[in-house]
Structures are given as C-alpha cells and as structure tokens.
Structure 1
Amino acid sequence: MTQIISQLSDISDRYDALFVDLWGCVHNGVKAFPEAVAALQSYRARGGVVVLVTNAPRSRHEVAKQLIKFDVPEDAYDAIATSGDSARAAMFTGAVGSKVWFMGHDFDLTFFEPLSLIDNPVHIERVPLAEAEGIVCCGPFDPHADPAVNRPEFILAKQNGLKLLCANPDIVVDRGERREYCAGALAKLYTEMGGESLYFGKPHPPIYDLARRRLSQIRPGISDASILAIGDGPATDILGAMGEDIDSLFISGGLAREETKTTHQPDPTALSDYIKKEKISPTYTIGALR
C-alpha cells in the first residue's frame, strides 16, 4: 500500500535526484503552483538535482520559455527532458519516413526545427495525408473534440500502412479548470483501429533514457535507487516509474482528484480503490506537491 506523506521534505533526503512531471504537478497549464515551486527550490538548496520530465511535444528550450510565462523560476530545476526531444530524434532518423502528415497546431511547428544531435538527419517534408509516408502527431486539431472525429483520416492512414509518431503520450490534461485531449488519445484510437503508434514519452523507456543522460551531465553516478519520480498521471508517471524500477510519488490532486476525493490530501479509502482500479503501486502519495 502507498504511504501518504504531508510534504516532499518528509522523504526527500532519501533521494539524490527527482524526475518531476510538469503539468498537474508544477503548473496547471496556465500558472505555477507556488507550493510546488518552493518545494523544488528547497530540495535543490539541500543539494538535490531536479530533472523535469515532461510529455510536452516540444524541445526543452521551448518548454523552458513556457515555464517563464507560467512563473516557474529557473532555480526550481536543473534540466528538462521532453517527449518532444525523444520523438524528434526518432523522426529525424526516419522512424515514420520523410513525408509526414502533421497533426497539431502552429505553436507545435518547432517540433520540425533541426536537431543538431542527429548525424545526417532525414529531410522531413509536411504533406497532405494522401501523400504521406507517416504521421507526426503533436496533438489534436481540436483538444476539446472527441478523438473519434479523426476516424475517417485514420482509416485511410491505416489502409496506407502509415505509422503514427506520438509526440505526447498523455491522454488528457487539465488546462486551468478545463480538460483537454492530448496526442496520446489519438495514438490510442489509432492503435485500437489496428494502426501502429510509436511512443517516446512516459511511460515508455526513451524519455527515461534521455532523463538519465540529462542527469548524468549534471551529476554522474546517481543510481536508479536514488531517483524519485513525481507525477499525477497513473498511466504515464506512475506506470513509467514502475517500469523503470524507480520509486514514485503520486500527486492525487491532479488528474485523479475526483476519484481519490482529494482536497488537501486524498481520502485513504478512495485512494486505495483508485490504485487497485488503475493497477498502480506508487511508493508514496500526496495531495499536491509541496
């Protein structure tokens, strides 16, 4: 059974580094959570390393710019690992071909900017679906529409044997008080329809490999036993940590706040029922990062 804690400092001395989710933990898609920021600043002041591990379908540099707008200060973290960077590396090595149909918005187009880490990158051209060799999905065209609206396009894509590169495995997020679908919801639908989806963010290994590389650049030699993963996504943050054999801190007041009856802290019975239903086993749980 998970241990409910009152604050990060209750357990933080047991770990040398944190892999911290962003949306739902550090900010709500609009502004930072002051208590979460203070907790990370305090952890770093005591010598810990904070790597932000996010399923954002953008580069770490774009995420850093966004964090400034959300009032997340630079002294709250050491490095950023994004699903976008992992997925971009795969795209530029030809994972879905050179001619791709893009799903997303104009603000996602930085996904196609050159990636200097790849030698001899594939030249990527955005084309209509009928001409595509693969799909790059950064998110739905309408984040509030049921993903099923994409079935006609996905039928054609499947018939043409296209792979879908999912730049953000999250199913939903809460932007302020409103819930939105993410690229993961589209990839899930495409897979259910018989198509092939490629994932690079949590809970899949590539983003954790990237996070470890970022961590080793700051402080080499930290073992997985000394890393704590923090997040509010049961199917991404917690399952991902379980798959990597990393301890985890579940933020019950994020996506699962209603199911866990979280106000300041989760209701123990509701939390237990939710954990069993989701088949997760977080090491610790807290209502909000503080």
Structure 2
Amino acid sequence: MSRKITDLDQLTEHADVLLCDVWGVIHNGVNPFLLSVEALKAARGRGQTVVLITNSPRPAAGVIQQFGTIGVDPECWDDIVTSGDVTRQLVMEAPREIYFLGPDRDTSLVEGLDLELVGPDAASAVLCTGLFDDETEQAADYRELLAGFREKNLPFICANPDRVVERGDRLVPCAGALADLYAEMGGETRIAGKPHAPIYREAMVRARALRGSVDKARTVAIGDGASTDIRGAADNGIVAVFIARGIHAKQYASGRTTDEARLKEFLDAEGLRPEYWMEWLA
C-alpha cells in the first residue's frame, strides 16, 4: 500500500520540484482550498519549485485569470503548464480546416494559429476542449456527431484529457469523455495533456529554466486523478502523491473518513501504486 502522509513538508528532503495538479487539488472551480494553497506557498518558502500542471484546455493565461476570479494566491506557484499550452503544437501539426468542439470560453487556445475554423461537414480535423454545455450534457449526447467524424476518419485532438472535473460539489464531464467515446468507435485521438508525455516534458523544461538543473528522481507529482495525474507520473518516471479527497472520493470514503482498505482496492483495480497518498494537500 502507498505510504500515507499528512503534511507536504514530510517530502522536503526528497523533492526539489513539485508538479501539482490544479482542479480538485488547489481549487474546485468555485473556491480555492486554502490549506493546499498555503502548503504550496510554504514549499516555495523552503526552496522547492512549484510548477502547476493542469489539463485545462486554455493556455496558462486563462488559468491565471481564473485564479484571480476565485481567489487563488499567485504566491503558491512558480510556473504553470496547461494541456492547452502543449495541445497548440498538435493543432499546428494538424490539417488547417478544423471543427472546434467546445465552449466559446476556450477559443483562446487557437488564437494566433494559422487555421480555419469550419463546420463539421467541412472539417479535416476536430479540436475538442469540452462539451458545449457541460452543465446539462453528457458525452453520449455527442455519439451521432462523433460517428460522422469517424466515418470520415478525422483525427480528434483532445485538449483536456480529464473525463470529469469538480465544479463546486458536482462532477461535470470533460473532453476526455468524448475522446474515450471516439476511441471506442475506432477513431484516432491525439492527446498531449496528462497522462501523456508532452506535458511532463514541458513541465520539466520550465522547472530547469527556474532552477538551472533538475533531477527527475527529486521531482514529485501531486494529483487526484488516477488515470491522468497518477498514471502520468508512473508512466513518466516521477514519484506521485495521490490526493484521496478528489474526484474519486466516493469510491472509498464515508463522510470525511477514507477507508484505506477500499482505497487500496481502488488503486489496485486501476493498476496503480503511488508512492504516497494524502487526504488533502496540506
């Protein structure tokens, strides 16, 4: 079983760089988690470098803007890498005629890129940042649209690999759920965010720019998503801290108590064994 820790400072001697998830770890889309924010500020005060690594489909500027809106202290991070940042490279390598599948708030992802946004019938590729209305829709509502893309063998670029994300006290579907459905249909998906390597490579580039040199063995990834944060850390050779009270909490928690036996069963079923776990980042 993974080792339980209660304070991030227990890892001070083991880590120079912290790659920390955002949604579900330092905020829920509505409110910041103040203990988590303070933990990261304290880590920076001890000389550790904090790079936030998020599957947000928007470039980092959009994440910073959201932080300002909901009140996340900018002193809790040194740099931010988003799935949107690394997905721009996939878009530049794709055909120019692209169907943009997602809410208008995410269109900053394609600003400044040489492409043409077209309707579904004229598209040579699909760029998905999420559902049009994640408050009322589910991935299954898009089956007919995706079937049309699959019939034409269009590549499906997924800018947010998360299947669900916390928004307040609810879970809402994300672009990853649509990518899963498209893949089930036999379609080609192209993904650069967690758990895939491009976002981790970029995060380490940013960390080296801040520190001069970085030993991956002294890097720790923190997150609440099993198939994204923890799988990504494992696949990229990075020590992981699983935050239990995130999107998977209903699988093993009763009230404010985590059943460690059920947690182990959950992680075993996912084929994962993170080195550490915490209830909350604190």
1:161-195 C-alpha deviation (Å, 9 max, x unpaired): 10000000000011001110000000010010011
Residue 265 of structure 1 deviates from its aligned partner by 5.3
The match for 1:129 among 115, 120, 140 is 120
Counterpart Cα distance in 1 of 2:125 and 2:105 = 21
Normalising by structure 1, report the TM-score. Answer: 0.94
Misfit runs of 4+, over 3 Å: 262-265
Counterpart Cα distance in 2 of 1:63 and 1:69 = 10
1:186-265 equivalences under 5 Å are 186-261=178-253, 264=256
Residue 12 of structure 1 deviates from its aligned partner by 2.7
Residue 223 of structure 1 deviates from its aligned partner by 1.1
Counterpart Cα distance in 2 of 1:64 and 1:49 = 18
Assess if the C-alpha contact under 8 Å between 1:163 and 1:196 holds in 2. yes
Residue 145 of structure 1 deviates from its aligned partner by 2.0
SS at match of 2:52: strand
Does 2:4 match 1:4? yes
Counterpart Cα distance in 2 of 1:7 and 1:14 = 13
Assess if the C-alpha contact under 8 Å between 1:265 and 1:286 holds in 2. no
1:88-131 C-alpha deviation (Å, 9 max, x unpaired): 12212x22x101111111111101112xxxxxx6x211101100
What is the match of residue 42 of structure 1?
A: 42
What is the match of residue 51 of structure 2?
A: 51
1:220-278 C-alpha deviation (Å, 9 max, x unpaired): 21111010000000000000000011100000000111112165552211111111111
Assess if the C-alpha contact under 8 Å between 2:90 and 2:190 holds in 1. no
What is the match of residue 110 of structure 1?
A: 108
Instruction: Give the counterpart letter for 1:151 in structure 2.
Output: R
- Greater shift, 137-146 or 202-211, is seen at 137-146
Counterpart Cα distance in 2 of 1:260 and 1:22 = 22
SS at match of 2:57: coil
Structure 2 unaligned spans of 5+: none
Assess if the C-alpha contact under 8 Å between 1:266 and 1:286 holds in 2. no
Does 2:61 match 1:70? no
RMSD between aligned residues: 1.2
Residue 54 of structure 1 deviates from its aligned partner by 0.2
What is the match of residue 98 of structure 2?
A: 100
| Shift in CA distance, 104/275, structure 1 to aligned 2, threshold 3 Å | same
**Identity across the alignment (%):** 38
Structure 1 unaligned spans of 5+: 115-120
Counterpart Cα distance in 2 of 1:219 and 1:278 = 34
Equivalenced residues, count: 281
Counterpart Cα distance in 1 of 2:255 and 2:245 = 7
